[in-house]
Structure 1
Amino acid sequence: MNATVDDPTLRALLTRGDLHLALADDEGLDAGALDRPVRWVHSSDLEDPTPFLSEGLVLLTTGTQFPEASDDPAPYRAYVRRLAARGVVGLGFGTDVVRAGLPPALAEACRAERMPLFEVPYRTPFIAVARANAEAIAAQTYARRSWALAAQRAIALAALRPDGLGATVAELARQLDTWVGMYDAAGELSREHPPDGLDSATAAALRRDVAGVLNRGARAGSSLRIGETPFRLQTMGRGGHLRGVIAIAAGDLDQEGRGVVTAVIAMAGLALEQQQGLSRARGALRAGLVHTLLTDDPALARRIARELWGPLPPAPVTVAVTDAAASRIDAIAELLELRAEERRGSLFFGRGDDGLVIVTPAGDLAPVDELAERFGVRVGMSDPTGYDGFAAAVGQARVARDRGAGPVTAFADVARTGVLSALSDEALSLARAELAPLTAHDAAEGTHLVETLQAWLDNDCSHEASARALGVHRHTVRTRLALAERILGRELSSFATRAELWAALRVLDAD
């Protein structure tokens, strides 16, 4: 991010000529040890001042806490270890107040703990060092607030350009001096600056994380790291109605940086909400065309679609129906809108009575597979059809959706299971009740009436074929069937009775 003043660091203090500070030794210091932020400068001669210190401080001392005329390294080592553990970023020693020069044992202890040690000469008051750091903090705070105001002004002006969202993203990237991307509600990268600013692997990983945030549907901000690059993600829109995500290739932002991002989120969210009104109008028109197609006369739908979105997919087509909940339909529709624009003339969709209806050329499953995988919805697909059979195709797609076991189910696969497999739990209860007298008699008397009845019906009511299947004499089959008639109180010579009993047996077999 833009900076106009030096950050308040130990290096900045050491370079102040008016303070005359001198670094004792930079040997063994960690890289960046002098560039850590200094939150405050404090002075103390306590043997253990750490209960009164906080992380990120520079401590000044005159050394009265150390034994006089003693070079025993133990007290110095223990002292510096305590400071390092507390997070002190530097130690200043006031010379010629109690002791002349820097104690060698203190220098050695600081070297062992990689603690920067510097000399504060007698002519420099400790209060001057503290005041210099306080002035640096105040100057930085003022500079950051001034930057934030200027950045928000520049972003507000960018929002007034023809592509306000794109210009806003670009201005935010320039102000933060990093990559910024805007993802829509379908998880597609719609705008970024600088263009192609991420390598393909990082872009793919980031897209997956953005999709996860959108699928959760909760309004939130989050941080993550992909490889060596930190990212911040911030959702746009209301919880349950997210409009997208802004991704920033940056780690933690300070208060002013967060304020600038919040302003962008607010403006982008407002712009997207305004666009949503147009999206709702388009969605209502698409739904109307779906209802027109259900009349099996595509003439009107063809004319309107051609004017607005391009031609309808050429017949034969496959019709798909989703089970998307109302809260997910907007996000799915946004993805399909993008795909329809990319595949002009080979994808049409609109809301139906109980989900989205999607029309593609027969055999083209790519859009259907994508939305099933991305949104976890179930999709049923019809057999190939012309537009004069559109209503029947929608019915097939609904049956496939409701009866399918996987994310995408074709009606042809469902049809192979037969008509009886589609019967409800009520049919199963009725089948059990129909055969209950025979089942109870078999259980109580050890007979095989149900088995014999099933074999007889499966063998076209032939006593001889049934006997062979059961391994008994044909007279045994006749006797068992006569007993079954008496127990059921029904004539097996009636076709209606045979059909009902056969259906009951098939339903129980399918259970």
Structure 2
Amino acid sequence: MTYSDAEPTLRALLARRELDLRLASDEADLAPDALDRPTRWVHSSDLADPTPFLAEDLVLLTTGTQFGLRAPADVFAEYVRRLVDRGVTGLGFGTEVARAGIPVHLATACRAARLPLFEVPYSTPFIAVARANAATIAAQAYARRSWALSAQRAISLAALRPDGLRATIGELARQLDTWVGMYDAAGELVQEHPAGALDAATAGVLREEVGAVLRRGARAGSSLRSRSHAFTLQTLGRGGQLRGVVAIAAGDLDREGRDVVTSVIAMSGLALEQHQRLSRARGALRAGMVQSLRSGNPALARRISRDVWGPLPAAPVVVALTDAAASRSEPLLELLELRADERHGSLFYGRADDGLVIVVPASHADDLAEIPERFDVDLGVSSPADYDGFDAAVDQARVARDRGGRGMSGFADVGDTGILSALDTHEGRALARTLLDPLTAADAGQGTRLTETVRAWLEADGSHEATAAALGVHRHTVRARLAAAERLLGRDLTSFAVRAELWAALHVAPG
């Protein structure tokens, strides 16, 4: 960003013809930026040690009366050393006041310390030098304020454009003459200007830092320095409800630069709040489309999708279902919206009663893997299906989610475990225990083997002879035990339904 052509530096002072200043040092002997460092003030003093009264980045003027006429070289060397240690950027010597010309020992000491030394002629008052530098500082401050006002006006106008958010980020980048990027609540880079300006390594480091800022959830500004770049990060949104992060490829901004960034943060936050309200309305529409698809009316959902977002994913599709908590995850919703925009017609999502329904073409099923990896959610995925089997596919996804392990589980994997495994839940085990309690109580209290006998009889397909052989008892003993079991259970063991229920209970009950 450019504030003014005249910066308050020693070079600018030396360039003022009316002051008639002359650089006594050879510029080749100075540090590369010695003449171009900002000069905060110009002060005059003839004290032997003025450093207690000086500030950094100050130019000191002296007439040399503190040295006397016969001061040795080490006095000058120590004097210059103290000035350099204090951060003085230049020394002006007023000639023809206390002595003619600049003392040789002073010039030697300044050359050794690489401190710029210049002559102030008798005709130039010290106050004129100080006033000239002060005028340059005031002019630069005015230019900075004018720039800030102009920049804020330009950014405000950009915000009124149809692509307001993109235009705002672009205008901020132009005003600051640097790269600016905006990340959403999921940590995805959604806007940048100029596009592709960061190398892959720097972009990766920056993304990790943005992710850490979002995970902390606190509204704050921070900075990041890599080997080649320095960044300023500003969060968007309220603490605990962050909507994103604006990253600026600039380490330190002055007050005017920070004011401009603050105005962009405010406008971006407002735009994102409006976007959030629109997203809630779209979310309700998406939920209705999910219900339409589940009720066997894909034509309505196709029509709405085509008019609002584009076509639904082409069949055959796979249907994924997250856990219930994920349906309220703003970062996940931000990512899904971003992916839906990127993969036009290849991803649809919407809320169901117990999670988010996500639909992709069967050929893109692997794309779903990033969801549990990034957001630590459970995700069940159905087998490929057409839209006329959408409701069944949702049920498959639910089974895969509830019966699978952590992360992403496919119905084809969990479906091979059999129907009985679906009963292996807390409720199923409790019911099984209740059904079998009369038998286990009798076995424990009377030493009978009723539970063992019923299990062996069911495994032998109801054959008394096979059961007797398996248990090593007489078949009449088997009949007696089964009769006792019928009395305790109050059930007819000749009924297939009773046998099936007992079989399930024996497989589900603990122990």
Q: Quickly name the TM-score band, shorter chain normalised.
A: 0.7 to 0.9
C-alpha deviation, 1:137, in angstroms: 0.9
Distance 1:77-1:388 versus aligned 2 partners, 3 A rule? same
Alignment partners' CA distance in 2, 1:248 and 1:350: 34
Is 2:66 aligned against 1:41? Answer: no
User: 2:291 corresponds to which residue?
Assistant: 291
C-alpha deviation, 1:402, in angstroms: 4.0
Q: Can you list the C-alpha shifts for 1:34-68, whole angstroms capped at 9, x where unaligned?
A: 11111122233344433333322222333444475
Distance 1:166-1:498 versus aligned 2 partners, 3 A rule? closer
Q: Which residue identity lines up with residue 63 of structure 2 in the other structure?
A: T
SS of 1:33's equivalent in the other structure is: coil
Alignment partners' CA distance in 1, 2:244 and 2:259: 19
User: 1:93 corresponds to which residue?
Assistant: 93
- 8 Å contact from structure 1 (residues 243, 272) kept in 2: yes
Distance 1:63-1:456 versus aligned 2 partners, 3 A rule? farther
SS of 1:93's equivalent in the other structure is: strand
Alignment partners' CA distance in 1, 2:213 and 2:401: 27
SS of 1:306's equivalent in the other structure is: helix
Alignment partners' CA distance in 1, 2:450 and 2:104: 103
User: 2:176 corresponds to which residue?
Assistant: 176
SS of 2:178's equivalent in the other structure is: coil
User: 1:254 corresponds to which residue?
Assistant: 254
Distance 1:356-1:72 versus aligned 2 partners, 3 A rule? same
Q: Residues 422-433 of structure 1 correspond to what in structure 2 (within 5 A)?
A: 423-425=424-426
User: 2:349 corresponds to which residue?
Assistant: 349
Distance 1:194-1:499 versus aligned 2 partners, 3 A rule? closer
Q: Can you list the C-alpha shifts for 1:112-144, whole angstroms capped at 9, x where unaligned?
A: 433223333333332222222211111111111
Q: Residues 257-276 of structure 1 correspond to what in structure 2 (within 5 A)?
A: 257-276=257-276
Q: Which residue identity lines up with residue 260 of structure 1 in the other structure?
A: V
Q: Which residue identity lines up with residue 124 of structure 1 in the other structure?
A: T
Q: Can you list the C-alpha shifts for 1:149-179, whole angstroms capped at 9, x where unaligned?
A: 1222222233333433333333323222223
- 8 Å contact from structure 2 (residues 438, 488) kept in 1: no
Alignment partners' CA distance in 1, 2:208 and 2:267: 25
- 8 Å contact from structure 1 (residues 76, 105) kept in 2: yes
| Structure 1, 354-363 or 118-127: larger mean CA deviation | 118-127
Q: Which residue identity lines up with residue 392 of structure 1 in the other structure?
A: A
Alignment partners' CA distance in 2, 1:79 and 1:328: 68
Structure 2 unaligned residues grouped into runs of 5+: none
Q: Which residue identity lines up with residue 236 of structure 1 in the other structure?
A: L
C-alpha deviation, 1:357, in angstroms: 0.8
| Structure 1, 4-13 or 107-116: larger mean CA deviation | 107-116
| Structure 1, 198-207 or 118-127: larger mean CA deviation | 198-207
SS of 2:19's equivalent in the other structure is: coil
Alignment partners' CA distance in 1, 2:105 and 2:115: 13
Distance 1:276-1:67 versus aligned 2 partners, 3 A rule? same
User: 1:84 corresponds to which residue?
Assistant: 84
Q: Which residue identity lines up with residue 56 of structure 1 in the other structure?
A: D
- 8 Å contact from structure 2 (residues 221, 235) kept in 1: yes
- 8 Å contact from structure 1 (residues 454, 505) kept in 2: no
Alignment partners' CA distance in 2, 1:68 and 1:465: 127
User: 1:61 corresponds to which residue?
Assistant: 62
Alignment partners' CA distance in 2, 1:86 and 1:435: 89
Q: Which residue identity lines up with residue 34 of structure 1 in the other structure?
A: L
SS of 2:320's equivalent in the other structure is: strand
TM-score with structure 1 length normalisation?
A: 0.80
- 8 Å contact from structure 1 (residues 27, 111) kept in 2: no
- 8 Å contact from structure 1 (residues 42, 57) kept in 2: yes
SS of 2:88's equivalent in the other structure is: coil
Distance 1:162-1:61 versus aligned 2 partners, 3 A rule? same
User: 2:21 corresponds to which residue?
Assistant: 21
User: 1:396 corresponds to which residue?
Assistant: 396
Q: Which residue identity lines up with residue 272 of structure 2 in the other structure?
A: L
Alignment partners' CA distance in 2, 1:150 and 1:321: 50
Alignment partners' CA distance in 1, 2:341 and 2:134: 58
Q: Can you list the C-alpha shifts for 1:355-391, whole angstroms capped at 9, x where unaligned?
A: 2210112242244223333434332212223334333
Alignment partners' CA distance in 1, 2:30 and 2:465: 101
User: 2:9 corresponds to which residue?
Assistant: 9
C-alpha deviation, 1:262, in angstroms: 1.9
C-alpha deviation, 1:319, in angstroms: 1.1
User: 1:358 corresponds to which residue?
Assistant: 358
| Structure 1, 305-314 or 186-195: larger mean CA deviation | 186-195
- 8 Å contact from structure 2 (residues 440, 451) kept in 1: no
SS of 1:247's equivalent in the other structure is: strand
Alignment partners' CA distance in 1, 2:427 and 2:362: 36
- 8 Å contact from structure 2 (residues 223, 230) kept in 1: yes
C-alpha deviation, 1:283, in angstroms: 1.6
Alignment partners' CA distance in 2, 1:218 and 1:46: 51
Alignment partners' CA distance in 2, 1:282 and 1:77: 75
Q: Which residue identity lines up with residue 30 of structure 2 in the other structure?
A: L
Q: Which residue identity lines up with residue 35 of structure 1 in the other structure?
A: D
Is 2:413 aligned against 1:413? Answer: yes
TM-score with structure 2 length normalisation?
A: 0.80
- 8 Å contact from structure 2 (residues 184, 243) kept in 1: yes
User: 2:115 corresponds to which residue?
Assistant: 115
Q: Residues 89-488 of structure 1 correspond to what in structure 2 (within 5 A)?
A: 89-203=89-203, 205-323=205-323, 325=325, 329-417=329-417, 419-420=420-421, 423-425=424-426, 460=460, 474=472
